[in-house]
């Protein structure tokens, strides 16, 4: 459980930022921290807090090795009743994706998932495993949102907690498509391999030590890499989200050349010192350029890739409490081979980076947004939370 005293210590330690050197690109972690509304949660649209995305932000900052004080505050926000019930369920319902994500948040921060905001996340997750090894939401069957992402997350947290995972792995392996990849959705009439689904499953299987199915899946995943180094989703070409997930699998599977190309692709999407000040460090979704809300999600996924870390290994243990300041005053102009994505300035741009715990300035939506967003989340809590 996150203790208030620990939070105070992190904030106190983070008051002084370390300037970045001229040779370094702007920090994606610094930009991401500046997007945490009220310093503790991320939005997926104006005035809409997103607990699942906020959890992803914790993993991203840990992968970048910065912003631990913000990650701790985000975990505290996630443990508040509105966010907690939206993620893990209430009124007799339980959701695999939210339980696993919060357990991974606790593990990433070095806290106990058995005691997260008064909930034993792992015990509650165990109640959702079927005899087949599959984890399924406890809800109306028509609203069950379990898939490759939620199953993989469950395997990862079990492995990290040193709990039995063989049955869960066996079920996951049984969903493999004939071509070697994995689908996102289970029980479809035709098995259709998916880059995102395969990348997530691979991170779980490789962490669990599975070698046969994962070897075939790695071959399939590498074959999906585009000439630009990026990886496509089911509905788009090369993009930061799919590529960031893929890097975690490639690194875990020791596919170093493919991982190097993917990381280089992610760098081409990052806004450098030639870009608008409020965007520097952000990673655009794709080559079309910067748009604020896609960039928030894209940056969380890309930081895992840029950090070359799998979700099975991500940890904030050595992360700094604050973030480096972005100093472009002496940075040379980028070469033609390093273009900065261009695009419209973000809505309600954050304050200039001055330290580790920047807060997006509150406009009229300010305090009302928290209440409104929580209500919207509770009304729509059956939407997918595992991806």
Q: How many other C-beta atoms can be found within 10 angstroms of the C-beta atom of residue 1?
A: 15
Q: What is the pTM of this model?
A: 0.81
Distance CA 109, CA 72 (A): 7
In angstroms and rounded to an integer, the radius of gyration of the C-alpha atoms of the chain is 20
pLDDT per residue, tens digit, the chain (387 aa), is: 444 444 434 333 333 333 333 346 789 999 999 999 999 999 999 999 999 999 999 999 999 999 999 999 999 999 999 999 999 999 999 999 999 999 999 999 999 999 999 999 999 999 999 999 999 999 999 899 999 999 999 999 999 999 999 999 999 999 999 999 999 999 999 999 999 999 999 999 999 999 999 999 999 999 999 999 999 999 999 999 999 999 999 999 999 999 999 999 999 999 999 999 999 999 999 999 999 999 999 999 999 999 999 999 999 999 999 999 998 986 444 433 334 443 333 333 332 232 333 322 222 222 223 333 333 333 333 333 344
Query: Tokens 């997350």, residue?
Result: 153
238 - beta bridge partners? 232
pLDDT at 379: 34
Distance CA 249, CA 230 (A): 14
Q: Which of 166, 108, 194 is nearest to 387 (CA)?
A: 194
Distances (CA, A) of 326 to 281, 355, 356, 360: 8, 10, 11, 17
**For residues 271 and 26, is the Cβ–Cβ distance under 8 A?**
yes
User: How do residues 316-333 score in pLDDT, each as one tens digit?
Assistant: 999 999 999 998 986 444
Q: Which of 229, 241, 264 is nearest to 195 (CA)?
A: 241
User: How do residues 154-173 score in pLDDT, each as one tens digit?
Assistant: 999 999 999 999 999 999 99
- For domain 4-333+353-379, the CATH class is mainly alpha
Distance CA 49, CA 348 (A): 15
Q: Six-digit token pair at 332?
A: 């040379």
Domain ranges of the chain: 4-333+353-379
Rounded to 10°, the helix 212-223/195-208 angle is 150
Q: How many other C-beta atoms can be found within 10 angstroms of the C-beta atom of residue 217?
A: 28
* Residue 69 CB-density burial (10 A; 0-12 exposed, 13-18 middle, 19+ buried): buried
């Amino acid at each position: 459980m996150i203790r208030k005293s620990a939070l105070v210590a992190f904030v106190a330690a983070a008051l002084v930022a370390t300037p970045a050197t001229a040779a370094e690109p702007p920090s994606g972690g610094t930009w991401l921290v500046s997007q945490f509304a009220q310093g503790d949660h991320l939005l997926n649209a104006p005035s809409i807090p997103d607990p699942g995305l906020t959890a992803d932000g914790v993993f991203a900052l840990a992968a970048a090795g910065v912003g631990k004080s913000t990650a701790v505050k985000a975990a505290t926000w996630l443990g508040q009743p509105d966010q907690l019930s939206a993620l893990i369920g209430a009124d007799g319902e339980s959701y695999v994706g939210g339980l696993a994500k919060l357990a991974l948040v606790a593990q990433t921060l070095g806290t106990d998932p058995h005691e997260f905001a008064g909930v034993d996340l792992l015990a509650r997750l165990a109640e959702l495993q079927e005899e087949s090894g599959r984890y399924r939401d406890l809800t109306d069957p028509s609203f069950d949102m379990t898939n490759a992402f939620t199953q993989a997350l469950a395997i990862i947290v079990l492995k990290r907690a040193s709990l039995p995972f063989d049955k869960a792995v066996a079920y996951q392996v049984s969903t493999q498509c004939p071509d070697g990849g994995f689908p996102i959705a289970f029980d479809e009439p035709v098995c259709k391999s998916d880059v995102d689904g395969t990348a997530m499953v691979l991170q779980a299987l490789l962490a669990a030590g599975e070698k046969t199915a994962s070897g075939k899946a790695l071959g399939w995943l590498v074959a999906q890499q585009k000439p630009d180094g990026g990886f496509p989703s089911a509905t788009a070409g090369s993009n930061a989200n799919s590529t960031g997930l893929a890097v975690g699998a490639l690194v875990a599977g020791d596919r170093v050349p493919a991982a190097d190309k993917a990381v280089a692709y992610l760098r081409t999407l990052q806004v450098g010192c030639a870009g608008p000040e409020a965007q520097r460090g952000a990673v655009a979704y794709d080559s079309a350029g910067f748009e604020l809300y896609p960039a928030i999600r894209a940056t969380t996924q890309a930081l895992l890739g840029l950090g070359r870390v799998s979700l099975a290994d991500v940890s904030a243990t050595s992360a700094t409490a604050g973030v480096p300041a972005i100093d472009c005053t002496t940075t040379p102009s980028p070469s033609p081979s390093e273009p900065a994505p261009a695009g419209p300035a973000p809505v309600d741009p954050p304050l200039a980076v001055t330290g580790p715990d920047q807060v997006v300035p509150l406009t009229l939506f300010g305090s009302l947004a928290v209440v409104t967003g929580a209500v919207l989340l509770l009304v729509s809590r059956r939407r997918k939370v595992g991806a």
